Structures are given as C-alpha cells and as structure tokens.
Amino acid sequence: MFIYPLLVALLISYLMVPQVKRLAFSLGAVDKPNKRRINVKPIPSLGGIAIYLGVLFALISTGFGSEFLGIIVGGTLIVILGILDDLYELSAIVKLLGQIVAGLVLIGFDARIEFISNPFGGIYYLGLLGIPITLIWIVGVMNTINLIDGMDGLAGGVTVIAAATLAIFAYQKGQVLTIILALSVIGATLGFLKYNFNPAEIFMGDTGSMFLGFMLGSISIIGTLKSVTAITLLIPLLALGVPIFDTLFAILRRKLSGQPIFKADKGHLHHKLLELGLSQVQAVTIIYLVSIFLGMVAIGISEADLNQLIFLTTSSIGFILLGAIKLGVFNAEANYINDNNLVK
C-alpha cells in the first residue's frame, strides 16, 4: 500500500519534467548566471510544477482525497505564488503574504498544533494560540527550504532525507496519512532529482522550494507536531536541521554585520564548502551526510529516555555549531548581494 503513492509520484514527476522544461523556456522562466547564482549557463526554472503534479496525482490516487484537501488547496496556492515569483520576481513582502494565506488555508482545514504536553505531567491546550504558532512553523519551513536551494540537487535531496525521517517516525506511530504524504513527497522529488543533479538540466525554482517547504511543514504538523511533547518537538527540528540551522546562521550573520535579515549574501553552508575548493557534487554530498546524521539522531530520540535525549540533542547541536564556526558561516564580512526581492 505505502509503495503505491511513492511510485505514482515518482513516475508523474519524472515524465512531467521534460514538458515543464519546454514550458519554462517558452515563458522565459530561465535562471541566468549572476552574482547570486552559481550556475554558469541559463537553466530553465519552474521544475516545482513537476514535483507538485507528482504529489497531487499520488494523493488523489490513494482514495484519501478529502483528508488531504487542505494540503492540496494550500499547496496549490503556494505553487501559483511560486510560478508568479519565478516569472516576475515578486517582492519579499508579497511572497510572505502569499505564504501566510496558504498557511491559513491549511489551518482552516484543522491542521494545526493543538496542545503542548508537559513531560512531567499535564497538557496545555493552545486554543487560538495554536493558529499563530502553526502559521509561524509553516512559513518558517517554507523559507528555510527556499533559502537552502542554492546548488544542484541540494534542496531536493535534503527534502527527501527529511521526509524519509518523518515517514519512519510516522510508521513507528502508525500514522497512515502522514506516511502517504511523506512518501508522495519523496517520490515526486526523486523523479525531479534525476534532472536536477549536477549538472542540472532544470531548477525547481521558488515554485518547488516553497511547495516542498509547505509539504514538509504540513507533514510534521499532521504527524509529529499535532500535539507537541518535549521529544516530538525535536523530531522535525532535527529532520530539517540543515536548512533550519543555515537560516538561523544567516540571520545571526546579517545581524552581526548590521545588514537587514532579508539581504542576500554568499555566506551559506554550501557557499562556504565551495570556498574550500570542493565541487558542487562534493559539497552537496557532505550536506546530505549531515542531514542523514541528524535524521538518524531524530529517529533515535523518538525512543530515548530523558538522559539519552539530552545527550543526543546537545551533542548534535554542538557538532553543527563547531562545523559552522570552522567554515566561517558567522563571518560578518560575507559577500552581500544587491537584491531586494529574494532572501538567499
């Protein structure tokens, strides 16, 4: 049963990418080399459309259509927003407003963080407070995936690893709908990655990065974050550890240098790995391995006692911080780019 949505999503996405490439060229949705991008020739964007269609067909074909309606509607709005951004480079505020609307649609279909469980006993119902908390999470995850989409195969591969981590946790808890969602995302992303590994034939664009962020945020809410405990809160945080930490490092770096947090720069993890002389493939592979490590820690935490939880969490965060310091991601002298439309 579970393999079916994965295969459907993979097949649809794989078959649609060539069609989307032609569409992108015809619409002029092409990423040309510039100071922010590292591609050396024009590459068609809008690849996220193929990912979206793969996920959409997989979810509809499972027979759980009504259960996924909020995610489908919200995801569709995000894809429309992404297409407009890839074509016309929307301002940051317009994109943020669009993301908020999509998040509110999801919440309107009762997908939200409802209460917090005290590990020492007791439950705190969030009530209306659950709406802004859920919204912040959804919008935050969308932007972290968008932020890390800077090298061939990077955002897609990190998404597959994160979704696989969430799928394993959902399987342990018997959460069927969450497993189907995660496998649909994995399949659609793998179908796209065939064309996106270095040297990439097509980019997912903001259409893809925001949609994948929306899906990962939704999966974690429906699965691990529907009710938050001290342990389950860490599962999606670690599963999405690389893009989340990269985003936090970028915010801190820009604050230290007196720059607006929306100011694009070339101080991200993947930029620093390239500065070491690594190829794109080598840099992406290292980030994949770090993501897999954090995913394994997340799965280990799900069965850990309090002492093990503290050890695994603190050692993982320490590992990431040490690596970031060594790479110089907090360097306030990072190359800043004059681009008011996009945070990268």
CA torsion angle 265 39 195 179 (round to 10): 0
206 annotated as belonging to a binding site for a ligand: yes
30 in Cβ contact with 43 (< 8 Å): yes
75 in Cβ contact with 216 (< 8 Å): no
Return the closest-CA partner of residue 134 out of 236, 259, 264: 236
Amino acid, single-letter form, for residue 282: Q
- Looking up tokens 């695994």 gives 312
DSSP 232: T
As given in the structure block, the two tokens for residue 131 are: 């709406």
* Residues paired with 336 in a beta bridge: 265
Return the closest-CA partner of residue 207 out of 16, 6, 60: 16
Torsion sign across C-alpha atoms 104, 155, 319, 332: negative
Binding residues: 146, 206
Binding residues for Mg(2+): 146, 206
